[in-house]
Amino acid sequence: MNPTPVPGLVSVVMLVRNRLEYTRRALASLANASGDLEVVVVDNGSRDGTAEHLAGLDHPHPLTVLRHEDDRGGSERRNVGAAAARGEFLLFLDNDVLVDEPHAVEALAAELTADPGLGAVSPLLLYPGGSGLVQCAGGGATTDGRIGAVGRGRPVGAEHRAHRDQVWAPTAALMVRHSSFRRVGGFDESFDPVSLCEDVDLCCRLRAAGERLRYVGSVAVRHFEGTTFNHVGHDKLPVWKRHTRVLRARWAEVFAAGPAHTAEDLAWVPVEKDYSDLDRPRVAVLADPGSADLSFFASDGALATARPADVRVLLVGGAGTPDVGAVPGVRVVGVADPDVRALLPAARAHGAPWALRDGTRLVEAVPAEGVVVRAPDTGAVLTALRRGLRVLLGKQAVDDLPRLVEAARQAPGRCSVDLPWAHHPELIALGKAVTDGGAPRGFAVRLDQPSPADRDVVADLGPDVLDAVERVLGVPVTAVRTLEATPHRVRARAVAGGLTGTVEVGRGDPRFRVSVTGEAGERAADLVAPPVSGAYVDFVGALRGGPAPSTGLDAVGGLFDVVRAWCVEVAALPVAGGSGR
């Protein structure tokens, strides 16, 4: 942030991506604005001539263009624009907003100047054209945290021209005191890459810090709603619902304190928008009240790219997770660990904006599509599943198996287990060879792996060896009986689909060998660990709308039941070379 803002100067921060014709008109409307102002344009990878237009633009107000080759999302890039701004006041203005009144910017700044208790102000947003319809007469909320635009789709009236305190205001046109913006930390980048609700969150943080927000209905601008950012690859309606749940979890006290609106004030009146001729835009309330108006939540195919959609992931028990972030497009936005000594380094290593000791609170308060749970935290898993998130459980995190399996079957979210060898190509090839080679007669599996001495070797490696047996033979393991055990190695006889074989796990140099005997002799595979867990890749693919992982908890729950019984059996045995476990 600029440490010494210029008194009285307004910095207009405008985020753009393509939509050159809207940007051209928005900047032209600011040319006649009175008062002391500068314009900071943040270009998020436009490919339609926007960069060339901005480079050659002769604007009456000082113009700074910050060019980026990609689109990281509205929160991060508005923060970038604010960091370059010099003004005492920051006016966040979308590039589909027209400031027709020359004194509008100056009038908003005057409100902040006159009342030091104000942290931010916003104007009346009207739909373009001659309809006289309100797009947003300030942001409103009920006491239980339902948010919405006040007056949407209604004819502008005296009540929309009033001045009043408000809970939040949209970044389409939001003026914030520079010092206040800096004090609360700017926009929360965990809401990226889809720009939804980060403005509500910013305003709630201002109010929680003791500052007020004012709606200034005497100042009006025109807003071509729903044209600024329509991110490809994202279904925005579920993102909106997910983000509003996060807001209610974070800011229940702020919403309860008011000022409150009724549900009727926030009713989503469906409108029909025709922007095909920007000189003569047409907006009207839909004749059929039951018609859906989801254009605000639509994804625009015109911006389609070959790159997969970004997804956000939370880490619970986040230390020691090297594969997270190895898949392109994954953003770790939060880390939870009760041990601060593990928490802070993990947050820094992943560049996560949020670090909390409570895993359940992290899932409630930080927006994400998926949660990776590496340490036992049943509460965080159940909360994620109830919120419709997808969960990837580490083997050590499967503690309350009955509750987790039941939740995975009943809740809207889905849960899978990180069995890193499950998708190994050589294991898959061996399974196909066994299927094609006639009836198997027996099997043997051995897995050695370096692991901490205080970790139960069966609990640590047992799920992998039994899962390998099941995937190669295509039948479940139904029983395991231990043959010998030491503190570092356990050997057992396993039964799978009527076949009997041996399984062995131990600490030592990495080795994973799977062999099956049959009429054609022995078929075997010596596996080398892939650089990234196949289960994690499948988990990320499912977050992007791909098929559900084959390691779903409801599917592999029986395997973990067998592992638990095996652990109990080994713990009860005398251990060779020691007095027990």
What's the length of the chain?
581
Cα distances (angstroms) measured from residue 144 to each of 140, 168, 189, 360, 509: 12, 15, 25, 20, 57
Predicted TM-score (pTM) of the model is: 0.86
Cα distances (angstroms) measured from residue 477 to each of 302, 403, 425, 519, 556: 51, 22, 21, 22, 11
**What pLDDT, on the 0 to 100 scale, is given for residue 231?**
55
**What pLDDT, on the 0 to 100 scale, is given for residue 2?**
57
Report d(CA 466, CA 496) in Å as an integer. Answer: 9
DSSP 575: P
**What pLDDT, on the 0 to 100 scale, is given for residue 97?**
96
Helix (H) or strand (E) holding 560: helix 553-572
Residue 307, Cβ neighbours under 10 Å: how many? 11
3-state secondary structure 46-99: CCCCHHHHHHCCCCCCCEEEEEECCCCCHHHHHHHHHHHCCEEEEEEECCCEEC
Report d(CA 388, CA 369) in Å as an integer. Answer: 9
- Which among 69, 90, 62, 67 has a CA at the least distance from the CA of 1? 90
Do β-strands 511-518 and 440-448 pair in parallel, antiparallel, or remain unpaired?
A: antiparallel
Report d(CA 36, CA 14) in Å as an integer. Answer: 17
**What pLDDT, on the 0 to 100 scale, is given for residue 226?**
78
**What pLDDT, on the 0 to 100 scale, is given for residue 456?**
87
DSSP 301: G
Report d(CA 92, CA 171) in Å as an integer. Answer: 6
* Amino acid in the structure at residue 402: P
Q: Which residues of the chain carry a pLDDT beneath 50?
A: 301-306, 576-581
8 A C-beta contact, residue 466 and residue 477: yes
Q: What angle do CA 501, 504, 508 make, to 5 degrees?
A: 155
Report d(CA 204, CA 120) in Å as an integer. Answer: 11
Look at the alpha carbons of 235, 236, 241, 243 in this order and tell me if their dihedral is positive or negative: positive
Cα distances (angstroms) measured from residue 173 to each of 286, 291, 494: 25, 28, 66
Residue-wise pLDDT for 378-398, tens only, equals 999 999 999 999 999 998 888
Report d(CA 445, CA 493) in Å as an integer. Answer: 10
